[in-house]
Chains A and B, each alone.
With several copies, the nearest count.
Chain A
Amino acid sequence: MARAVAASPFAGEPAVTDALVREHKLTEQEYEVILDILGRTPTLTELGVFSALWSEHCSYKHTRPVLKTFPTEGPQVLQGPGENAGVLELPDGWAVAFKIESHNHPSAVEPYQGAATGVGGILRDVFTMGARPIAVLNSLRFGTLDDARNRYLFGGVVKGVGDYGNCVGVPTLGGEVTFAPGYAGNPLVNAMCVGILRAKDLIRARAHGVGNILMNVGARTGRDGIHGASFASEDLSAASEARRPQVQVGDPFTEKLLLEASLELITSGTIVAIQDMGAAGLTSSSAEMAARGGVGVELDTSKVPLREPGMTPYEILLSESQERMLVVVEPHRVAEVQAICAKWELVGTPIGQVTDDGLFRVVHDGVTVAAIPGERLVNGVPIYHPEALEAPEAIARRAATPTAAPVVDATDALPRLLDDPTIASKRWVYEQYDSTVQANTVLGPGGDAGVLMVEDAKFGLAVSVDCPNRYVVLDPYEGGKMTVAEAARNVACTGAVPLGITNCLNFGNPDKPEVFFQFREAVRGMGDACLAFGTPVTGGNVSLYNENPTGAIDPTPTVGMVGLLEDVTNRVPSSFRNPGDLIALLGDTTGHLGGSMYWWIVRDFLGGPPPPCNLDAEVRLQRFLVAAAQQGLLRSAHDLSDGGLAVALAEACIGDPYARHTLGAGVQFAVPDGMDPAAFFYGEDGARAVVSFDPASVEAVRDLAAAHGVPFTVAGTVTDPNAELRITVGTALHTWQTVELRRTYFDAIPRRMAA
C-alpha cells in the first residue's frame, strides 16, 4: 500500500482547524481516519479533496451495503455498476449503455441551469463509455401547480432539460412528471441517457500504464460549483441559499463538440481511458480512474486551463465547471489527441501523468500541495449502517381509510382525474423537447414507452422511466417492487422484452431511521422484482438529504428500463387504432383503492395499503404482451396505472398527442359481487393492461393469454371517431364524450401554467 509523504500548504492557505474540518462536513471519526491515512495533518487542499470524495454523493458511505444487495448479473450484462454507465448486449454486435442521475439540489436553487447541467452530466456518462447518445428521458417531481414557486421551478426545469438536449441533438423519448405536496421546495430532477455502441468499442474509465499522460479536454475551469459534491449532500437551507454563486452554467454547444471529439478519440483507439469531470470535478475523475486502475496519479494544477485568474489548487481540484473530460493517453499520442480536439474546436492540455507510487499527488508550480494514498482516498471512507425503523405514522397511514365523502360521483370522477396534472397529458412538457432528431423515433413521448430503431438493424429499443411514488411512501417494499414492475410493463406493452434497469434513489436524510427504513425496503423490493423479471441493475445513482424545512420528500426510487424489440416492425402503440377492433382487459381486477389517485383526488386522502405487487402475475403479463406483439396480434396495448381502468380506457380513446380525432369505445363488464363502481373504475391493481386487436384474431389472442395464464376478458369494441366512451358495469351505463375528455386531458397543464 502506498505510504503517505509530505505535502506543504499552498501559499496563503490557512492551516486546517476543527472549524474547517466541520465546515467540510467531515465527522470527527472521519477526520481521525484521514489523520491515520496521512500520518500527519492534511493541508487545506487535501482536506477539500477528502471532503469531496467522502461526501455521500461520491462515496455512498450510507448506502453501499444496501446497494450491494441489488442483482447485477445476467447473460446480457457487458458492464454492471462501477463505471460511468451500465452496458447490455444487443443483437448483431451492438450494445446499449444507459444511466440515470439526479440533479435535485442544483435544480432547487436554479431550475434552468440545474436541469440543463443534469442532462449534460448524464450525456457525458454515456458517451465516455464509447456510446453515441440516442435518447434522453427525464423523471421530474414538483410541489403542486397552484403555487407560483412550483410553477416557476417546473417551467425552468423543463426549459433547461429541453434547451440542453435539443442543442446537443439527442431526442427526448420519454419521462414522467408528478406533482405532490411532498416535493414542494425540493423538486426532483432525474435525467437518463441511453446510448448505442459497437460492443467492441466499449471503453472503461481505468487509468493504467505508468507514465501515461492525463489530459484535460474541453472547457476551461472556473469557480463553478465548488463543493457541489458536499452541497448535494446537505439539507436545503438558508445556508445553501447563501451558496448560490456556485451555480454551474451549462454550454450544450461545447458539449456537442465534446461528444464528437470523445467518440472519435475512443473509436480511433487513440486513448487509454476517458472520464467526465462530474461531481467533485478533476478530483473524483482522476482519483477514481486511478483507483479503478490500481495506479497513482500526479496532477499539475498550474497547467489546467483556467477561465478566471488566480485560482488556487483547492479551487481547481474541486471546481465543477461543466463540459470537461479527463483523458489518459500514451505519451507518443498526445499530439494525435490534440489534433482531434482541434478538429472539434476544443483544446486538449496535458495536466498530469499516471504514476506507480499509488499516490494521488497534486503539484502546483512545482510545490506538492497534496499527496494522499489513492486507494484509501477512494475506498477508505468509513461505511455507515444507519438504523432503519418505520415511522408509526407511516404504519397508521397504511391502515387508514378515507373519511371524506367523494366530491363527485363515479362518472364525474373521470374528468376530475384526467384534469389532475399528475395524470393529465404531459404534452406541454415534451413538446419543448426535440423528440424526432436523429430520425429514429418510432414511438415518441405520449405512450407507454419510447421506441426507437437503430440504423440498418432489425431490432429496436424501448425505454421508460417510472416511479409510483405514492405506493413507495405508503409501503416502501411493495412500492419498490411496483416501481420496477411498472417500468417493465410499460416496456412490454410496446412488445419489447425488458432487459435491465438503472435507478436513481431519491430519499431524505439517511440518519433519520424512518428515512433509512424507506431506503432499505425500497431497494429490497426493487431487487426482488429485478430478480423475478431477469432485469439486472446495471448502475444508477443515489440522492439523499432531499429535505426542506417541512421535512423529507416522499421516497422516490426512480427506475429507468431498457427493453429489446427483436423486430422493431412489431412495436405496438398504446392507443386504439381502428373502429371495429375488439377491446380486452388483461389481468385481475379486485378494485384495490389503497394509495389510489381516486382516493387522493376525489376523497382527499393519501393512504391505505398500496396495491400488492404480484411479481408472478407481472411476469406472465409481460411475456404475453411480448409474444402477442411478436405474432403481430395486437393493434394497441396500454398498461393500467394511475387512475386504473377508466383512465386507461379514456387514454386509449383520446389517442396520440396529435391525433386528428379521438375514437369511441363501448365496453361491458360484469361487476365482481358487490364491488363499488368507483373501485372497479379507479382501483389500481397491478399486472393489468387494455389491448385492442382485429376481431379475426380473437381466438389467437385468447389462446395466447390462456397459455400464459393471464386472465383475459373481451370487453367490447372500438367505435367511431369522436364517439363516446361507454362503459356498462353490471346494469349501469356510464358515458363520456371522448372529445371533452381529450380537451380536459391536454389542457390541464397549459391552463395552470398560463395562470
Chain B
Amino acid sequence: MSFRVFVRVMPRRGLLDPQGQAVESALRALKFDQAGNVHVGRAIAFDLQADNESAARTAAIAMCEKLLANPVTEEYEIEVTAR
C-alpha cells in the first residue's frame, strides 16, 4: 500500500524559539493579535510504501528517530494517510 506521510518537527518545548517569536511579533504588527503561542519548525512530506498503516507509522518513526529529528533540540509528530 502507498501512504502519504507528513512529519512536523518542532523546537523542543522550553527551548528558545526565535523564529516563532519573530513570526509572532510580525503577526502582531499586522494586527493579527488573535494569534499567540507561535512556534516554527520543519515540515517533511513523503510517499511511503508499506503493508499497512501501522507498518507505515513504524517506518516513519524510525526515520524520525534516525534522521529527520534531533532529539536533543527537537520533537516530532507524524501523520500518515493512505492514498
Same assembly: yes
Chain B, 3-36, CB within 8 A of any chain A CB: 11-12, 14-18, 22
Question: Does B73 interact with chain A (Cβ within 8 Å)?
Answer: yes
Query: Is B1 engaged at the interface, CB distance under 8 Å to the other chain?
Result: no
Complex: A110 Cα to B72 Cα, angstroms? 7
Q: Is the CB of B73 within 8 A of A254?
A: no
Question: Does A224 lie within 8 Å of B72, measured CB to CB?
Answer: no
Q: Is the CB of A251 within 8 A of B12?
A: no
Task: Evaluate contact between A247 and B14: CB separation under 8 angstroms.
Answer: no
Return chain B residues, CB-CB under 8 Å to A253: 18, 22
Which of B15, B18, B22, B70 makes the CB contact (< 8 A) with A224? Answer: B15
Closest Cβ–Cβ distance, residue B26 to chain A (whole Å): 11
**Who on chain B is nearest to A241 by CB?**
B72
Q: Pick the 3 closest A-B CB pairs, nearest first.
A: A251-B18, A249-B16, A110-B72
Interface of A is mostly: loop
Q: Is the CB of B73 within 8 A of A224?
A: no
Chain A residues positioned under 8 Å from B17 (CB to CB): 249
Count the B residues whose beta carbon is within 8 Å of the partner chain — how many?
12
Q: Are B72 and A247 interface neighbours, CB within 8 A?
A: yes
**Are A109 and B72 in contact (CB-based, < 8 A)?**
yes
| Bound form: Cα–Cα A305–B30 in Å | 25
In the assembled complex, 24 residue pairs joining A and B whose CB atoms fall closer than 8 Å, in A order, are: A110-B70, A110-B72, A110-B73, A113-B73, A222-B16, A223-B14, A224-B15, A224-B16, A244-B72, A245-B14, A245-B15, A247-B72, A247-B73, A248-B16, A249-B15, A249-B16, A249-B73, A251-B16, A251-B18, A253-B18, A254-B18, A307-B16, A308-B14, A322-B16
Give B56-83 as 1s and 0s: 1 = Cβ < 8 Å from A's Cβ atoms: 0000000000000011110000000000
Instruction: A110-B73, A321-B16 are known; give 10 further A-B pairs, CB within 8 A.
Output: A110-B72, A113-B73, A222-B14, A245-B12, A245-B15, A247-B72, A247-B73, A249-B16, A249-B73, A251-B18
A321 CA / B72 CA spacing, docked (Å):
16
Number of residues in A with C-beta < 8 Å to the partner?
A: 19
Q: Which residues of B contact A247 (CB under 8 A)?
A: 15, 72-73
Chain A residue at smallest Cβ distance from B22 = A253
A residues in contact with B11, CB < 8 Å: 249
Q: How far is the CA of A379 from the CA of B18 in the complex (A)?
A: 37
Complex: A658 Cα to B58 Cα, angstroms:
48
Query: In the complex, what's the smallest C-beta–C-beta distance from A404 to chain B, in angstroms?
Result: 33
Is A249 in contact with B72, judged by CB distance below 8 angstroms?
no
Q: Are A249's CB and B18's CB within 8 A? A: yes
* Residues in B whose Cβ lies below 8 Å from that of A244: 71-72
* Complex alpha-carbon distance, A113 and B17, angstroms: 12
Contacts of B16 in A (CB 8 A): 219, 222, 224, 248-249, 251, 307, 321-322
In the bound assembly, the distance between CA atoms of A245 and B71 in angstroms comes to 9
Give every chain B residue within 8 A of A109 (Cβ-Cβ): 72
Residues of A within 8 A of B (CB): 109-110, 113, 219, 222-224, 244-245, 247-249, 251, 253-254, 307-308, 321-322
Contacts of B73 on A, CB cut-off 8 Å? 110, 113, 247, 249
* Chain B residues within an 8 Å CB radius of A110: 70, 72-73
Nearest-neighbor residue (CB-CB) of B21 within chain A: A251
Cα–Cα, bound, A244→B73 (Å): 8
Q: Please, how many angstroms separate the alpha-carbon atoms of A224 and B12 in the complex? A: 12
CA distance A115 to B23 in the complex (A): 23
Distance between Cα atoms of A244 and B72 in the complex (Å): 6
| A219 surroundings in chain B (CB, below 8 A) | 16
Query: In the complex, what residues of B have CB within 8 A of residue A245's CB?
Result: 12, 14-15
The docked-state distance in angstroms from the alpha carbon of A245 to that of B15 is 8
Chain B residue nearest in CB terms to A110: B72
Alpha-carbon gap, A221 to B51, bound state (A): 34
Separation of A222 and B18 alpha carbons in the complex (Å): 12
Expressed in whole angstroms, the minimum distance between the Cβ of B20 and any Cβ of chain A is: 11
Q: How far is the CA of A244 from the CA of B18 in the complex (A)?
A: 19
The closest CB in chain B to the CB of A222 belongs to B16
The answer for the CA separation of A308 and B71 in the assembled complex, in Å, is 21
Q: Taking the nearest CB of chain B, how far is it from the CB of A657, in angstroms? A: 24
Chain B residues with CB under 8 Å of A113's CB are 73
Complex Cα distance, B11 from A224, in Å, reads 13
CA of A486 to CA of B15, assembled, Å? 41
Q: From B18, which residue of chain A is reached at the shortest CB distance? A: A251
Smallest CB separation, B68 vs chain A (Å): 14
Contacting A at CB under 8 A, from B33-59, are: none
How many whole Å from A112's CB to the nearest CB in chain B? 8
Q: Tell me, rounded to whole Å, the shortest Cβ–Cβ distance linking A711 to chain B.
A: 52
Question: Which residue from chain B places its CB closest to the CB of A755 in the assembled complex?
Answer: B29
A307 / chain B contacts, CB cutoff of 8 Å: 16
Min C-beta distance of B72 to chain A, whole Å: 5
CA distance A223 to B70 in the complex (A): 19
- Tell me the complex Cα distance, A222–B13, Å: 11
List the A residue with the shortest CB-CB distance to B17. A249
Interface-centre pick from B18, B22, B70 (highest chain A CB count, 10 A): B18
Complex Cα spacing A308 to B17, Å: 12
Smallest CB gap from A252: residue in B: B18
Closest to A109 in B: B72
Cβ of A254: which chain B residues have Cβ within 8 Å of it?
A: 18
**Across the interface, which residues of A come within 8 angstroms of B18, CB to CB?**
249, 251, 253-254
CA distance A29 to B32 in the complex (A): 55
A154 to chain B, nearest CB (A): 16
For A224, give the chain B residue with the smallest CB separation. Answer: B16
Question: A251: nearest residue on chain B (CB-CB)?
Answer: B18
A378 to B45, CA, bound (A): 44
- Report A-chain residues with C-beta under 8 Å of the C-beta of B72: 109-110, 244, 247
Residues of A within 8 A of B71 (CB): 244
Q: How far is the CB of B51 from chain A (nearest CB, A)?
A: 28
A335 to B9, CA, bound (A): 42
Residue of B nearest to A113 (CB): B73
C-alpha gap A433/B45 in the complex (Å): 31
CA distance A247 to B73 in the complex (A): 7
Q: How far is the CA of A702 from the CA of B61 in the complex (A)?
A: 70
- Which residues of chain A come closer than 8 Å to B15, judged between CB atoms? 222, 224, 245, 247, 249
- In the complex formed, the residue of A with least CB distance to B72 is A110
Instruction: Point out the residues of chain B lying under 8 angstroms from A251, CB to CB.
Output: 16, 18
CA A321 to CA B18, docked complex, whole Å: 12
Choose among B15, B16, B22, B73 the residue with the greatest number of A CB atoms under 10 Å from its CB. B16
CA distance A219 to B21 in the complex (A): 11
CB distance from A224 to the nearest CB of B (A): 7
Question: Complex formed: what's the CA distance from A224 to B14 in Å?
Answer: 8
Distance, CA A430 to CA B72, complexed state (A): 26
The closest CB in chain A to the CB of B11 belongs to A249
Residues of A within 8 A of B22 (CB): 253
CA distance A633 to B31 in the complex (A): 60
Measured CA separation A226–B17 after assembly (Å) = 17
**Shortest beta-carbon distance, A259 to chain B, in Å?**
16
* Residues of chain B with a CB closer than 8 A to A222's CB: 14-16
Q: Provide the bound-state CA to CA distance between A305 and B70, in Å.
A: 29
Beta-carbon nearest neighbor of A223 in chain B: B14
Alpha-carbon distance between A496 and B11 when the two chains are bound, in angstroms: 46
